[in-house]
Amino acid sequence: MKVAVFSDVQGNLPAMEVTVEHILDWNPELVVMAGDLVNRGPSSRACLELFEPLRRERGWLPISGNHEAWVLHRGRECPQDALDAAMHRFADLTFRQIAPVAEALHGWPDHISFHAATEDSWVHVTHGSMAGKRIGISARVPDEDLRDRLPEGVSLFVGAHTHKPLQRYLGRTQILNVGSVGSPFDGDVRASYGQLEFRGGRWHTHIVRLPYDRARTERNFMESGFIEQGGPLAKIIFEEWRRARVLLASWHYRYMGAVYSGEISLERGVTEFLQSLQMGEPDTDALNYR
């Protein structure tokens, strides 16, 4: 049995197209999209429209990620104030982009489980972990903290959310984080997805890395209006994509308190942060991202 799991496309159409082509060539029996297909990127609607025929005609399965939930929430709720609107302008832009086809996101499950030829081969797939969509599993999570993040009685647990591919064990439970198709955070700009194959009585897992046309993605960021219309934080999101590093968590740590207290404006906080990156200041806060 062969299974492909990909996640965190985040509106990056060229990366998704290459990943879909590679999966189709590998020809697995089951394909799971483990959430965050949309948001934080310029082409969310195009990615959703690419996925939908694969779901309908080939049986590819979707899982809801935190960004699907967040974009749908932003579509239902009005901004609390001007700062809230500015902070989340990129998500509001995404909702407006996908609004004509947003119905396709409704009803996606949070978890999918299946097994291969034996009853002791159960696999559990979700976006983050059993602790929530926004709580993933990375190399920095100690074993004692993993127990609340894993289901009981599975042979293999598959998650994503951190944008960092990972293979590890907790006891006899194998753990696979498939990373990110559209915006990896491990310093490798290539798209990432996971291959699972059941043979010899056990699951074998493999992380696939794929180059894609990044110049085209950069044009999409610019020409779609994502940078111009997505608010100040869209510039940091773009820089995360460009560097394949998590940056927004560091920005929150350094500037969010001052922005909320009114000490500095959101725009100034973003500008100063990006200038510090250009000057080569170490991004030590991001090292603690999980």
143 and 10 within one domain: yes
266 domain residue, yes or no? yes
238 and 112 within one domain: no
240 and 201 within one domain: no
225 domain residue, yes or no? no
pLDDT of residue 282: 57
46 and 12 within one domain: yes
List, edge to edge, every strand of the sheet that includes 111-114.
Answer: 111-114, 123-126, 156-159, 173-177, 166-170
List, edge to edge, every strand of the sheet that includes 191-199.
Answer: 61-62, 30-33, 2-6, 191-199, 202-210
159 and 51 within one domain: yes
d(CA 106, CA 236): 29
155 and 91 within one domain: yes
pLDDT of residue 267: 97
114 and 19 within one domain: yes
Do the Cβ atoms of 85 and 92 come closer than 8 Å? Answer: yes
d(CA 290, CA 284): 13
User: How many folded domains does the chain comprise?
Assistant: 2
222 domain residue, yes or no? no
C-alpha angle with apex 63: 59 to 66, nearest 5 degrees? 155
125 domain residue, yes or no? yes
166 and 70 within one domain: yes
62 and 148 within one domain: yes
273 domain residue, yes or no? yes
Domain closes at, from 151, 178, 210: 210
217 domain residue, yes or no? no
d(CA 125, CA 112): 5
pTM for the structure as a whole: 0.95
Residue type, 124: H
d(CA 47, CA 9): 8
Dihedral Cα 270, 160, 149, 290, nearest 10 deg: -30
Note down pLDDT in tens along the chain; length 290 residues.
Answer: 999 999 999 999 999 999 999 999 999 999 999 999 999 999 999 999 999 999 999 999 999 999 999 999 999 988 889 999 999 999 999 999 999 999 999 999 999 999 999 989 999 999 999 999 999 999 999 999 998 999 999 999 999 999 999 999 999 999 999 999 999 999 999 999 999 999 999 999 999 999 999 999 999 999 999 999 999 999 999 999 999 999 999 999 999 999 999 999 999 999 999 999 998 865 544 444 44
User: How far are the Cα atoms of 177, 184, 231 from residue 166, in angstroms, in the given order?
Assistant: 5, 12, 32
Q: Which CATH number characterizes residue 104's domain?
A: 3.60.21.10
277 and 148 within one domain: no
Q: What letter would DSSP give residue 78?
A: -
63 and 173 within one domain: yes
61 domain residue, yes or no? yes
Q: What letter would DSSP give residue 287?
A: G
d(CA 271, CA 232): 8
248 and 205 within one domain: no
Residue type, 73: H
Domain closes at, from 147, 176, 210: 210
165 domain residue, yes or no? yes
The whole domain housing 189 covers 2-210
d(CA 97, CA 89): 12
User: How far are the Cα atoms of 4, 24, 60, 94 from residue 64, in angstroms, in the given order?
Assistant: 17, 22, 13, 16
